[in-house]
Amino acid sequence: MQIIKGKTNIDFIGKRRIALFISSIVNIAIIVCIPIFGFNLGVDFAGGTLVEIKFAGTVSAEQVREGAVKGGLHEPQVQAIGAAEENNFILRMGGVTQLTPESEKKAEDAIRGLGEVVSINKNLDTGLINVRFKSAVEPETIKAAVVASGTGVTEVIKLGEFDYQVKAEGMASKVSAALKEGVPGVNFEVRRTDYVGPQVGKQLRNKGVMAILWAMLFILIYVAFRFDLKFGPGALLAMLHDVIMVAGYFLITRREFNLTSIAVLLTVLGYSINDTIVIYDRIREEMIKYKGKPLPEIINIAVNDTLARTILTSGVTALSLIGLLIFGVGEIFDFAAAMLVGIVVGTYSSVYIASPLVIWLDERAHEKEGAAGNVKAKPA
């Protein structure tokens, strides 16, 4: 079976200036918008709590969100997962413990009401309150006061004669209490709880970015060694183009940007450079075969020769992703949608970003050779 019968002669390279202009405008727009609007960072990067809940009765995501807010949770994000009849939901919210910027002042006031306080230190990241009183206070009294202020307490540890440490409960227990109050009459179970502190989230984000940069660097070195130095910058620019375009998908759709998104970007890099190398390989072969032909014509021949292969590989991969888009939910859907964007832009960039830059660098090299020849030809 042949997707394309016979040899095609489409002038891809002839449209390179228009394609480069459009790509440049879109890429610049995305880069400008990233610091203005920012990504919708997931718990992996922003830090916070993720709780998976399964209800025994039928409820909607909006009912769960309204119930959670009614029960005292601050701006929870609610997402249905699985089939509608399964009544599975994921709740995401900021904060790892119940000690939040909203509750810490109430907790402090409650502690100060128990006696004269010498010093008090609160850590919202760990949910710890270290307090020193001027006289002894019963740990259970401290716990009862903080709980009454609205912050759940795991335990109160006596560190010294007048020193105490209060450990705030995690958000999962508050989620359960809030849903019991906000969605009465419907039983549920907590299936999974994930906590990521702000510092850990920042480290994950930085390491994810570094993984992308290292991957691009090693790919650039590989291309430069396998082909020629003038081929390397084109491959690098194509990869940058693809990363920015996929990042633009997350920016525009406001889908959650998390570790799965980093996996998408790394996968797109690999897919994009694979297609670019296939075309580069064919260009190198055609340069030997059609020695003396202008490089744009040679690249056009190479792109046409690999067109059937590109359609087959991209098409088959896209078909599997379309299946995931239809049946997938949550992070699976996000992965499939972003990968589909990456496949399209990766195929496009191999033709209209990587190849034109090779032409441009080749033209600059010939201009320099010509200028050097003219200098030598001048009489002394």
Nearest to 118 by CA among 101, 102, 137: 137
CATH number for the domain running over 13-41+198-370? 1.20.1640.10
Q: Span 266-282, mean pLDDT?
A: 86
| pLDDT above 90 (res 249) | yes
The pLDDT of residue 1 is above 60: no
What are the pLDDT digits (tens) for 311-359? 888 888 888 888 888 877 667 888 899 999 999 998 898 888 888 888 8
49 burial via Cβ count (<10 Å: 0-12, 13-18, 19+): buried
pLDDT at position 246 = 93
Across 40-54, 155-169, 220-234, the highest mean pLDDT is recorded for: 155-169
More confident position, 372 or 40: 40
> In which residue are the tokens 């633009």 written?
248
Whole-model pTM: value is: 0.72
Question: DSSP assignment of 261-277, as one string?
Answer: HHHHHHHHHHHHHHHHH
Taking the C-alpha atoms of residue 355 and residue 68, their distance in angstroms, rounded to an integer, is: 53
Q: How confident is the model at residue 275 (pLDDT cuts 50, 70, 90)?
A: confident
> Percent of the chain having pLDDT more than 90?
14
Confidence at residue 100, expressed as pLDDT on a 0 to 100 scale: 77
pLDDT one-digit tens code per residue, 24-48: 999 999 999 999 998 888 777 777 7
Average confidence (pLDDT) over 291-296: 83
Mean pLDDT of the chain: 83
**Model confidence pLDDT, tens digit, residues 195-217:** 776 666 677 778 888 888 888 88
Binned at pLDDT 50, 70 and 90, residue 140 comes out as very high
- All CATH 3.30.1360 domain ranges in the chain, comma separated: 104-168
What is the CATH class of 104-168? alpha beta
Range 48-94+172-196 has CATH code 3.30.70.3400: yes
C-alpha 235/C-alpha 163 separation (Å) is 61
Residue 176: per-residue pLDDT: 81
Which parts of the chain are beta strand (E)?
40-41, 48-55, 77-81, 88-93, 117-123, 128-133, 153-158, 163-168, 188-196, 256-257
- Given a cut of 70, whether residue 370 has pLDDT beyond it is no
Q: Which of 70-74, 131-135, 137-141 is predicted least confidently?
A: 70-74
Residue 76's contacts (CB-CB under 8 Å, 6 or more residues apart) are 65, 68, 69, 91, 92, 93, 175
Confidence of residue 369 (pLDDT cuts 50, 70, 90): low
Where, residue-wise, is CATH 1.20.1640.10 in the chain?
13-41+198-370
Confidence of residue 132 (pLDDT cuts 50, 70, 90): very high
Identify the band that residue 130 occupies on the pLDDT scale cut at 50, 70 and 90: very high
